[in-house]
Amino acid sequence: AVRLVPYYQDEESSYLEQIRKLPSSPEKRVISYGLYGTNPKYIVGAIRNTELAAAYFPGWTVRFYVGTDVPPATIKQLEGLGAELIYMQKTKEKIAGMFWRFMVADDPSVDRYIVRDSDSRLNPRDRLAVEEWIHSEKGVHTIRDHPNHKRFINGGMWGAKHGAIQNMAMLIKSWKEKSKYGGDLRFLCRIVWPLIQHDQLAHDAYTCEEFPNSRPFPTKRPENYQHVGQVFDENDNPRMKDIDGFIRGKKVPEACRRQRDWVYG
């Protein structure tokens, strides 16, 4: 059995049952990550998410675009857990690694993919939102589950069907800000969003009235205020300032609640 994130365990068993009953698919579905460096927050996060994917995203392949500086022991562990590894060449541009995970868009062998952050943790709220997108006709999925997610697309909280975004490598190549912090977010919002804004479905808990084709999450936010995209350390401890400083006790707009009494989304 997969070791779950302690912070996520309260309502886990009913969700896991629900996830087990989801229809399987002949599609090749991929969860795409970029991984570089030796920081345990990301290295251990990568391993944890590969483990968690087996519980929350059965049938999906976890793929890492890995840098040459990732420790060999980590590589071995990820391979042992069944992850797909794509080795990237070193680049001069420091944060170019943030863009690697977007390259999944150009892979014709992949039918559907989601892009995630290795310092977050996969969870049922994420999986069940993705399932709603799968059953929609939309080519692209975006998630906003925190007041700080107020932008068109967040770097590690979107996905697409193959073909919905074309020529990703070319788009990245022509983007000048590859090495600036936040360059990946600006790229998604300025370059990708205009191409897909009419072909996307968003799950949005706080700003659903501000962005097009947004809907509430299908699951109620647990009492510990977990959210999709929550940042964790290597010991599965959440970064509490994201919760305490922003969303604890903050009611979401009524339009952003699936049920009226889900006051926190």
For 136-157, write each residue's pLDDT tens digit: 999 999 999 999 999 999 999 9
pLDDT range class, residue 7, cuts 50, 70, 90: confident
Q: What is the mean pLDDT of the chain?
A: 94
Non-local CB neighbours of 206 within 8 Å, separated by 6+ positions: 144, 145, 146, 147, 149, 150, 252, 253, 256, 265
pLDDT at 178: 79
The residue with greater pLDDT, 22 or 14, is 22
Q: Over 70: is that where the pLDDT of 245 sits?
A: yes
C-alpha dihedral (65, 70, 72, 77), degrees to nearest 10:
-60
Q: Which sequence spans correspond to the domains of the chain?
A: 6-143+152-200
Q: Over 60: is that where the pLDDT of 94 sits?
A: no
Which of 101-110, 115-124, 137-146, 239-248 shows the lowest mean pLDDT across its residues? 239-248
For residue 99, the Cα-to-chain-centroid distance in whole angstroms is 14
For residue 132, the Cα-to-chain-centroid distance in whole angstroms is 15
Angstrom CA distances, 65 to 25, 29, 62, 87, 165, stand at 24, 16, 10, 6, 19
pLDDT at 168: 96
> Model's pTM, two decimal places?
0.95
Q: Over 90: is that where the pLDDT of 4 sits?
A: no
pLDDT at 95: 54
* CA dihedral sign, ordered 261, 214, 63, 180: negative
CATH superfamily of 6-143+152-200: Spore Coat Polysaccharide Biosynthesis Protein SpsA; Chain A (3.90.550.10)
Percent of the chain with pLDDT over 90: 84
Two tokens, residue 203: 């799950």
* CA–CA dist 160, 27 (Å, integer): 13
Residue 190's SS3 state is helix
pLDDT at 176: 87
pLDDT tens per residue, range 58-86: 999 999 999 999 999 999 999 999 999 99
* CA–CA dist 200, 197 (Å, integer): 6
**Residue whose entry in the numeric block shows the structure tokens 């020529």:** 167
Q: At what angle do helices 40-56 and 124-134 cross, to 10 degrees?
A: 60
Angstrom CA distances, 203 to 77, 125, 130, 179, stand at 33, 10, 9, 29
**Residue whose entry in the numeric block shows the structure tokens 């998410």:** 49
Give which of 37, 97, 30 is closest to 57, Cα–Cα.
30
* CA–CA dist 15, 179 (Å, integer): 39
Percent of the chain with pLDDT over 70: 97
**Residue whose entry in the numeric block shows the structure tokens 């947004």:** 214
Q: Over 80: is that where the pLDDT of 35 sits?
A: yes
pLDDT tens per residue, range 197-226: 999 999 999 999 999 999 999 999 988 899
* CA–CA dist 152, 208 (Å, integer): 11
pLDDT at 192: 98
Give which of 62, 58, 61, 60 is closest to 19, Cα–Cα.
58
pLDDT range class, residue 191, cuts 50, 70, 90: very high
DSSP 191: I
The residue with greater pLDDT, 13 or 174, is 174
pLDDT at 92: 60
